[in-house]
């Protein structure tokens, strides 16, 4: 079983709710555990796991019933388990995004400038990596490409495919990722992806003008269990940012819906991609 950041988030949310219900501050809980308040903050933000011994003490402090105690201890044990295919690639994965994506059931991705990672070809990925890091070694490039191709396998899973709703700005179709042949192959891959039942690909045309999400890419991750709230992921030169607050996440969802309304439908999007391919070839 994989290390589950999602389960850790679920446990953190429940522990925070129990603490508030008990009317205790993080400082009071830290004193009870003979630990620092910083440790409690990290546990409640799912930034670190909690040991089973500490978990038992907290549940006793919060005076939970036996059924809740057993359920949360079981959750705590599962949240601490390690594994998953991504474990072998930790050296090229700067943050927890891939693990979150691996446990998500729905990804909503807006991309204003490049093709979304889950829809990239290997050569296009290579061009993206090289553009952002001129000193990277060929070995690390290959490992990063392997990770990206591995992530894409879930889109074609016949039993439980990852559902992807991708909004891609028309600019991404015209910005070359490699030479003309590589870019043509990338656009053809987009057309192929659009035929998958798990993929809803929509192009945001130039004529849509200024819109809600303009200027910044983001990913909204939704998980199969209602107890696990959505997470928003943003990536830029300043690094990775994650939004967990319900109100902030709702804002991103509203932006995505607004942008989707001014995007082309699937058939019109494919027609635009085909036209772009013809332009490249002429």
Residue 55 near residue 73 (C-beta atoms within 8 A): yes
For residue 87, what are the β-bridge partners?
none
For the segment(s) 5-79, the CATH number from 3.40.120.10, 3.50.50.60, 1.10.260.40, 2.40.50.140 is 1.10.260.40
Of 59, 87, 63, 60, nearest in space to 75 by CA: 59
On the question of pLDDT at 3 being above 80, the answer is: no
User: Predicted confidence band at 181 (pLDDT cuts at 50, 70, 90)?
Assistant: very high
Name the pTM for this structure: 0.83
The domains spanning 5-79 and 87-281 adopt the same CATH topology: no
Q: What is the mean pLDDT of the chain?
A: 91
Residue 273 near residue 187 (C-beta atoms within 8 A): yes
Tokens of 149: 């191709």
CA distance 26 to 24: 7
For residue 222, what are the β-bridge partners?
106
Of 182, 174, 251, nearest in space to 205 by CA: 174
Chain centroid offset of residue 100 CA = 6
On the question of pLDDT at 17 being above 50, the answer is: yes
> Residue 185: which residues within 8 A CB-CB, separation 6 or more?
121, 123, 124
For the segment(s) 87-281, the CATH number from 3.30.1910, 3.30.1370, 1.20.120, 3.30.870 is 3.30.870
CA distance 39 to 24: 15
In order, the DSSP letters of 185-200 are: HHHHHHHHHHTSTTEE
Q: Count the residues in the chain.
A: 282
pLDDT tens digits for range 198-238: 999 999 999 988 877 777 899 999 999 888 899 999 987 77
Of 58, 71, 54, nearest in space to 18 by CA: 58
Domain coordinates in residue numbering, the chain? 5-79, 87-281
pLDDT tens digits for range 77-131: 888 876 678 888 888 887 889 989 988 999 999 999 999 999 999 999 999 999 9
- The percent of residues above 70 in pLDDT, for the chain, comes to 98
Tokens of 264: 């082309």
The predicted structure's pLDDT at residue 266: 96
Tokens of 93: 């994965």
The predicted structure's pLDDT at residue 216: 87
CA distance 162 to 109: 13
On the question of pLDDT at 193 being above 90, the answer is: yes
The predicted structure's pLDDT at residue 83: 63
In order, the DSSP letters of 45-106 are: TTSS---HHHHHHHHHHTT--HHHHHHHHHHHHHHT----GGGGGGGG--SSHHHHHHH-SE
């Amino acid at each position: 079983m994989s290390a589950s950041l999602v389960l850790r988030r679920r446990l953190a949310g429940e522990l925070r709710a129990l603490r508030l219900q008990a009317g205790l501050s993080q400082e009071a809980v830290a004193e009870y555990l003979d630990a620092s308040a910083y440790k409690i903050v990290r546990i409640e933000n799912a930034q670190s796991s909690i040991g089973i011994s500490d978990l038992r003490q907290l549940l006793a402090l919060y005076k939970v019933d036996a059924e809740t105690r057993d359920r949360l201890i079981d959750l705590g044990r599962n949240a601490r388990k390690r594994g998953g295919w991504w474990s072998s690639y930790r050296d090229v994965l700067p943050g927890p995004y891939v693990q979150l994506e691996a446990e998500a059931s729905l990804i909503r991705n807006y991309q204003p400038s490049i093709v979304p990672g889950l829809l990239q070809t290997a050569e296009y990925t290579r061009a993206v990596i090289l553009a952002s890091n001129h000193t990277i070694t060929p070995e690390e490039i290959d490992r990063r490409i392997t990770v990206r191709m591995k992530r894409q396998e879930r889109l074609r899973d016949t039993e439980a495919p990852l559902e992807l709703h991708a909004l891609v700005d028309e600019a991404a179709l015209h910005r070359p990722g490699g030479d003309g042949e590589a870019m043509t192959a990338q656009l053809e891959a987009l057309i192929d992806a659009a035929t998958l039942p798990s993929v809803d690909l929509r192009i945001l045309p130039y004529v849509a003008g200024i819109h809600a999400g303009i200027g910044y890419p983001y990913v909204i991750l939704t998980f199969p269990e209602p107890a696990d709230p959505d997470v928003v992921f943003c990536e830029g030169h300043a690094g990775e940012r994650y939004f967990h607050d319900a109100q902030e996440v709702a804002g991103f969802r509203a932006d995505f819906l607004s942008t989707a309304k001014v995007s082309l439908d699937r058939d019109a999007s494919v027609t635009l991609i085909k036209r772009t391919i013809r332009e490249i070839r002429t």
